[in-house]
């Protein structure tokens, strides 16, 4: 298939592209490089620099390349940022997604995989969180993904768009060549590894009074390569209908456990300081991925936190100053 990957220069999009190409697909990347990195773009992909806000540019991609399916990663993705700048999320994320969807529909494309998020579940009643859980977005970011899921639901019913919405919990880890680099970096694992590289003095723990065993937040870290595998399986399954899946390992690790594992892997003491809670952080987020396991046979290859952090560390050691520096 020829797949249009928006955000293919970003963290998850670039690793998914790598696996798509290794599986024999052709990939057209559409990315404005505002958050992504040219060095992350796969050399065997076709790269188009463009912005999803530019509807004409989006239509031109579909006019130029016969696209069979879309994987949509390009997005603003930070919960706290979305609270500060709601229009960037319930505005740009949604409008840009609509430009993409309209172009896809008008060009006869009926396969779509959406990067969605655990931030749909702000007040989960059950842990681990399965797909039956009531959706209560935790921020304008989560709401933007929810809106895109709803738009896809209606496009399925009205024009036969077959879609998969993959709600990622905490993506982490790296492939050999592609890893996690955001500017500014806000994510726990890359920040901890920057301390180990001597680029930061310490890591601040955002809250130690949560109702969890050690008082710090618990998250479900999932290897980006396992996420990539889920995308490929979901794409193949679209012929049998649309679907939504929660994607995690089903195991939670506290912030302190992540730091401790990083200490073991890197051999660095990684100093910590306790700070206040970060607004918008739920205490515990753990996914139930039973549905995707049962329906698609998805089986994570790197479920261990050790492997996840080790691959991230290997990538950081190979790219101490990030891509291209």
| Contacts with ligand UFG, residue ranges (CB under 6 A) | 77, 79, 117-119, 141, 170, 186-188, 191, 203-206, 217, 219, 255, 278, 281, 285
Q: How far is the CB of 119 from ligand UFG (least distance, A)?
A: 4
Is the Cα dihedral 105, 107, 108, 110 positive or negative?
negative
Q: How far is the CB of 202 from ligand UFG (least distance, A)?
A: 10
Query: Which of 11, 65, 89, 141 is the catalytic position?
Result: 141
Q: Which lies closer to ligand UFG via its Cβ, residue 50 or residue 138?
A: 138
Based on the residue annotation, tell me whether 141 is a catalytic residue of this protein. Answer: yes
Q: Which lies closer to ligand UFG via its Cβ, residue 45 or residue 311?
A: 311
Q: How far is the CB of 308 from ligand UFG (least distance, A)?
A: 12
Question: What are the CA-CA distances from residue 128 to residues 124, 133, 247, 253, 319 (Å)?
Answer: 9, 10, 11, 13, 35
Q: Which lies closer to ligand UFG via its Cβ, residue 241 or residue 271?
A: 271
Characterise 247 by phi-psi region: left (phi > 0), alpha (psi -120 to 50), beta (else): beta
Q: Which lies closer to ligand UFG via its Cβ, residue 216 or residue 242?
A: 216
Q: Which lies closer to ligand UFG via its Cβ, residue 36 or residue 50?
A: 36
Q: How far is the CB of 5 from ligand UFG (least distance, A)?
A: 18
Q: How far is the CB of 325 from ligand UFG (least distance, A)?
A: 22
CA–chain centroid gap for 289, Å, is 15
Q: Which lies closer to ligand UFG via its Cβ, residue 204 or residue 321?
A: 204
Q: How far is the CB of 271 from ligand UFG (least distance, A)?
A: 13
Active site residues: 141
């Amino acid at each position: 298939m020829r797949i249009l990957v928006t955000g293919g220069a970003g963290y998850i999009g670039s690793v998914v592209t790598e696996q798509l190409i290794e599986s024999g697909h052709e990939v057209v990347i559409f990315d404005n490089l505002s958050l992504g990195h040219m060095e992350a773009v796969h050399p065997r992909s076709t790269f188009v620099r463009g912005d999803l806000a530019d509807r004409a540019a989006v239509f031109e991609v579909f006019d130029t390349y016969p696209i069979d399916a879309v994987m949509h990663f390009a997005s603003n993705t930070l919960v706290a940022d979305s609270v500060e700048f709601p229009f960037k999320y319930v505005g740009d994320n949604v409008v840009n997604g609509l430009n993409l969807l309209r172009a896809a529909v008008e060009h006869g494309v009926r396969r779509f995989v959406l990067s969605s998020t655990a931030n749909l579940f702000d007040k989960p009643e059950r842990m681990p969180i399965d797909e039956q859980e009531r959706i209560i977005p935790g921020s304008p970011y989560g709401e933007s993904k929810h809106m895109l899921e709803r738009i896809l639901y209606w496009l399925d019913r009205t024009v036969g768009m077959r879609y998969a919405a993959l709600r990622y919990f905490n993506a982490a880890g790296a492939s050999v060549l592609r890893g996690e680099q955001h500017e500014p970096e806000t994510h726990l694992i890359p920040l901890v590894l920057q301390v180990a590289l001597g680029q930061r003095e310490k890591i601040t723990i955002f809250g130690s009074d949560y109702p969890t065993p050690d008082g710090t937040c618990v998250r479900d870290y999932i290897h980006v390569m396992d996420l990539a595998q889920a995308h490929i399986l979901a794409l193949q399954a679209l012929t049998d209908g649309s679907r939504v899946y929660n994607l995690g390992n089903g195991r939670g690790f506290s912030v302190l456990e992540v730091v401790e594992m990083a200490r073991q892997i890197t051999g660095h003491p990684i100093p910590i300081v306790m700070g206040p809670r970060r607004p918008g952080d739920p205490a515990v987020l753990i996914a139930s991925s039973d549905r995707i396991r049962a329906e698609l046979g998805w089986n994570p290859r790197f479920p261990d936190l050790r492997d996840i952090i080790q691959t991230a560390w290997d990538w950081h050691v190979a790219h101490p100053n990030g891509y291209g520096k």
